[in-house]
Structures are given as C-alpha cells and as structure tokens.
Amino acid sequence: MTSTYSRATVLLLTVLIFVSLVPVSVLSDEGMFLPDTLSQLPLKKLQQRGLKIPITDIYNPNGPSIKDAVVIVDGGTGEFLSPEGLMLTNHHVAFDALAVASDQSKDYATNGYLAHTRGEELPAKGYTVQITQELKDVTADVLSGVTATSPPDATAIFAKTRALVAANAKPAEGVTASVLPLNEGLSYYLFTYLTLRDVRIVYAPPKNIGFFGGDPDNFQWPRHDGDFTFMRAYVGQDGKPAEYATGNVPYKPKKFLSISMGGVKENDFVMVMGYPGLTKRYRESYSVAYNQNVLMPFSIDIFHKQIEDLENAGKNDRDLQIKLQSRIFEIANTLKDLEGSVVAMHRVRIVDQKRAEETAFTQWISGNPDRQKKYGEVLPSLRKAYDELTRTAQRDLIVQQMGGLSDLFQILSLVNRFAADKEKPQAERNPSLAMTVLRGRGALPEVLADRNATSEKALLAFFLRKAADLPAGQKLDAAEKRFGSLQGEARVRAEEDFARSFAESKNFATAEAVSGLFEKTPAQLKELNEPLIDFAGEVGDLAAQIGTRQRAFNATVARWRPLLVQGMSEMHGSKSYPDANRTLRFTYGDVKGYVPHDAAIYQPFTNLSGVIEKDTGREPFDVPAKLKQLYRARDFGPYATPDGQNVPVNFLSTTDIIGGNSGSPIMNGRGEQVGIIFDGNYEGLGNDFFYNDAKGRAIAVDIRYVLFIADKFGGAGYILKELDIKNAPASVRRAA
C-alpha cells in the first residue's frame, strides 16, 4: 500500500541525506511530470495510445482543469467528484480519522461509517485539504546573480525564497506559499495552496472491505481491496476556509471529475494525477549504497520493534488497541516497503548500475580539459564525504535515535550540562542553553502526561542491545563504560535493569520532580545516584558532535552535487523530470499485467469472485456476510462485468506512482475517472530508487467496485446522485 506522509508515527531518522538528480533519458512509461511541462511530452504518441483530450484540459494556468480537482488529503491524494465538495480518497488515507473518532461503543475503524445526511458527516479531526492554486518556475528570481564561477549563496537564496513566499501567501484567505528547489537547486518553483480545514467523512466501508487482505496482501497481486472513502470539504458561509462549525457550507471546487462506468480493458491508455512523496531515482552510487546497506536495514529493525511494542501496549486495553490501529498500519506498511525495496535493489544491482554510469561520467570528463577543470573534483569529493559518513554510520544512527528516545530523555540530557553551566561566572554562561531548559521545563506537565514509560523502557533496552553489537571502532562509549565488562546474559540483564530504572525512578515520575533536577548543583546530582542522567547527557553531547559533522557533510554535498547534476545532464544531452517532492505530478501508462517470476503470468484484473475465494472467516480475510449474500444472489446492479457474473474489483497499470499517490484518480484518455490508486506491487518495490517497466505496477480500485460497495453494500447510494457518471444507466446518473 502506497505510503502516506503527514502522519508519521515512526521515530524520526534525523540524518539528512541529500537527493541527487542525475538526468537520464526517460524510458517507457517512467516519469512524474510537473503539470507545466506536459506540453513537452510526445503528445502525438500519447494520442495514438489513447489520449483524447487536449493538454489544457489536464493543466491550464488560465482556467479550470483536472489540476484543480486533484488535491492533497492529509498524507495522500484525493479528488473532487461533485460541485458540493464531495471527494474520493483511500480508506487508508482516511483511516486515522476513523480511528480517532472510535471507541468500544462506536468502532468506526472496524465497522466503517455512513452519514445518512450532511448533518451526520463525521469530522475528520486534524485533516486538511490542500488545493494547488499556482505553480511557477521562479529560478531566474532565486538564482539571479549566480554564475558558474559564483556558487550559490545559501543565505541569499533563503532570503529570496522567503521574500517570494511572503509576497504570494495570503493568510487571511487561507492561501499558503512555498518555494522548493528542484534538480538539486538548479531550478526553483513557487507553489501556492488553498488549505481547507473542515473535512468530514461521508462514507467509509468496513475494514474488512477497505483493508481486505491486510498486511499479508499488502503490496501483493492479485489484490481484492475496496480501499476507498468518500469525504467532503467545507468552508465558512463567506466561502473562505474555516475551522469545523455546524454552519459551514460545502466547498465549491473550480473543477470536479466525471466518472466512467465503461471500465478498462488490457492495454488501454490511462493517466494519473496526484501528489507523490519523495523519490531518489537519481542518487549517486555512494548514497544508494548507504541507503541499501546501512540506513534502510537499520530502519527495518526499528520498525519491527515499534510494531511489537505497540501491539503489546494494546493487548489488554481495547480502547487503546482501537486508537493504535492506524499507527500500527502505517509502520507495518513502511516496513514492508523497506524490506521489499532492499531485496529489489540487490536484485537489480542498482549500486552497480550507478557505478557504471559514474565510470562513463569520469571517462567523459577526462576527454576534455574544460570538463576536467569544471567537473573533475565532483565524484572524488562526494566519495570522500560518504566515506566519512559511513565510517561511524551505525553508531551515529543509534545515537541519534537514542537521543530522540522520548521528550523526557531529551530534557534529561540537559540536566548535567545546565548544572555545570550555572557554576560558571554569569558572563560565561550559555544563554541559548538557558532558554532551551526554560522551554523544556515549561513542557514537562504535557510531556509527563503523555509519557509511555513502558515504551521508553523497551526502546532503551533495544538500543542498548544494538549498541552492544556495534563493530570495533564504532562502539558507543556511554554504553561500554557501563556494560562493556559484562558478557552474554549478564550484559543483557544489566541493560534491562538500566532501562527499567529509567521507567520506574521516582525522580522522573512527575513534572515537579524532573523540574527540580535543574535546581541542583553538580554535587547534588551526583548524590542522587541516577546513572540515567549522566547517560542521557553523554548521549546528548555525542549527538551534538554528530550534528556538527552532519552539517559539514551537508555543506560538501551542497557544493558538489549541483555540479554533478549539471555535468550528467550535459553528458547525456537531455533534461529529466525532477524527483518527486510531494507536489502535483502527472504520469501515464497502460493497463497491463506482468510476469512476477518463472512459470507465472499475472492478469491485470481481479473480480468479486476472487474476494469470495479468499474468505477464511478470520481477519484479514473475513468477507462481510452481506457481501457474500450479494455475490451468491448475483445482485450486482449496473456494476457487473459484461457477462453479469462478477463485479470488477482491482486492476493494474504501468503508471509511475509512489507513496503519496494514495487516493490519486486514474483516468481514461477522456479524463474520466475509472479507478483510484491505492498500492504498488511487491515486484515493483524500490521504485523510489528506480523504475521497473517489466514488473512495476500501480494497483487501483475499479470505480465500479467503489460504486457497487457504496450503493449495494453500504446503503450510500444517495451519494451517486451527486456524481457525473458516464456510460451508466439513468438510475445511477447524477441528478440534473
């Protein structure tokens, strides 16, 4: 299932790894294109494949177009389907709102939700809808005065981007602005967004439809998932964005999509518009190797531990279990993506491919003295920076994660430093440290109220175990001086006792107790005999040193990587689409199956009969009784396959998508929605690093299954009267 972005529930990986754009020729259906570049696509070829509308119907800066119907919904994408602000997105995009509104008496996360009237529509707490108002190339404004012999001045660029943001944002009207670098800072774009803050759930199917197959089916084909939810956006009565209020009115979009019940067949042309998250397809070999061999495996270990702790936390508390469903799902989804991506990167030998390209680049440079002067130090300098980064990378990742173990741990890391600072003459004290301590002490009541000591204990013990396994030369001194003399089970027990003392100490139990630590002198702190205070301080100090080295690494990359981008582009004689960065993009492809492995061929369509075949009566393959009844009675209404014996459920295409595209409309050549993107296949994982034309596929819910579930199963047929449905009988067409 494609990832969502705004509701991160994992520990933040704080190492900043830069993305490199090395332009290469676009092959097959690869590409996540900025809307204002669509006129540069091979339009005649696209028309031959099935594009029936002009490009201005997709993106038109001077009038309504599909661009105005496709929006950011929380961590995914959504699309307007009616003039009354009705939207369609994925069930897993809306799932957090269902979970937040649930408890044992009303478990919407499990049972779904149906609003019979607009007054019953369920507020999606914390959700927003962002609509792109404008996107504009502002490179000339940002980089004015920058030449090949005058490298970009980060301070000057920041000032210019901040000025552009200030000039284009309209807070009173709900319009925000951002200026983002593309192509490693070789170009800059201005994006403005209208943000709607009142979002409500209209209809969500139960979990055993919206997430049918659960984690076992996630990223797998064949798939049989009804991953959709209808929502609605509201504004104040003056038409401006507003917080939730019963008197608010539905938002009137500039554009909404039509739906086609005509379906799709194999090799049909399709296109997708949405907000893909982050791709890293043009990174140099050093970065790819670091991700493949260090960062991603480390993250996989952490996510396994987090899932274990969250599942344990909810075992004896049903309300908490309900609330944690969304967090567990998001982490499990990311985990499976990472695990599959590492396998895929090894399988296609992506690091070797990058090295071969860099060898060609080096040879190209050596053939010309001017190129040698301009680009000769690029790869050696980047290699040296990555060599330094990876020398202590495993230890540094543990330190950074341990340092961010919890808010309380971070506050405790300041205690010793602040006590020592107070011993200095007033003129020599660190005012920045004093302000940080002041803010930390002020936050203590909330920090302690939200504290999960059990999770802290488990994670600290986990990180101490990982520290014990570090190779020689990367050992963590703060751990070794406490546990290094112990071996085997004795060390494990000592680490667990240490972690337990953090969770159970009365000195960390209340806001008053923790705040009182900052009043003590170094001698008084020593008398407390709280080794965790010393440990947290040592970890915090080392994390600060790592941060200093990280900034030096970043500066090196910022100096040389733009030249690598420029040189690769010059060598190839082409300009590529920029990596995805959560801005609006367009992609296209065909409805197509694939060969996953030897002796197997996957067709591009699944049907309701496949849902029934998977039924075990147990989660995640527990088909609802009513859905089985509809199938047995062949009560499919107008949503059946041509032979009347089935209902289409999911289909595949070669469209180029990534996390963040969840909920994107997949449209036919006339711009009519035929499905909704919700996942990619396992064989196509790693697609944030490379596009796999042979095996990579986007998975969509057929729009006919969306309508069938809403109408025949969910009792939400009234929604269909709002929709502009093409190729449908009069009974389901939008009311005039």
Whether omega before 620 lies within 30 degrees of 0, making that bond cis, reads: yes
Instruction: List beta partners, residue 278.
Output: 581
Active site residue 662: yes
- Tell me which residue has tokens 């950074």: 400
Kindly give the pairing relationship between strand 76-80 and strand 129-137. Answer: unpaired
C-alpha 280/C-alpha 641 separation (Å) is: 40
Evaluate whether 325 touches 307 at the Cβ level (below 8 Å). Answer: no
- Residue 227 falls in the annotated catalytic set: yes
Sign of CA dihedral 413, 418, 424, 428: positive
| Active-site residue, selected from the candidate residues 65, 187, 287, 662 | 662
Residue with tokens 């090295």: 355
Q: Using CA atoms, how far apart are residues 437 and 432, in angstroms rounded to an integer?
A: 9
DSSP string for residues in 665-727: EEE-TTS-EEEEEEEE-GGGTTTTT---TTT--EEEEEHHHHHHIIIIITS-GGGGGGS-EES
From the candidates 92, 217, 579, 664, give the one annotated as an active-site residue. 92
Residue 657 is which amino acid? I
User: Computed over its alpha carbons, how large is the radius of gyration of the chain?
Assistant: 27
Size (the chain), residues: 736
Q: Which tokens belong to 589?
A: 């492809």
Q: What are phi and psi of 701, to 5 degrees?
A: -80, 125
| Cis status, amide bond into 222, omega within 30 of 0 | yes
Residue 198 to residue 129: CA distance in whole angstroms: 8
Q: Write out the two tokens for 565.
A: 């981008």
Q: Which of 162, 155, 156 is nearest to 179 (CA)?
A: 162
Catalytic residue among 29, 107, 225, 227: 227
Closest CA to 30 of 696, 699, 701, 700: 696
92 is catalytic: yes
Nearest to 452 by CA among 561, 317, 584, 277: 317
Q: How far apart are CA 205 and CA 709, in angstroms?
A: 8
Task: Give 326-366 as a DSSP string.
Answer: HHHHHHHHHHHHHHHHHHHHHHHTHHHHHHHHHHHHHHHHH
Structure tokens belonging to residue 90: 């994925």
Which residues belong to the active site?
A: 92, 227, 662
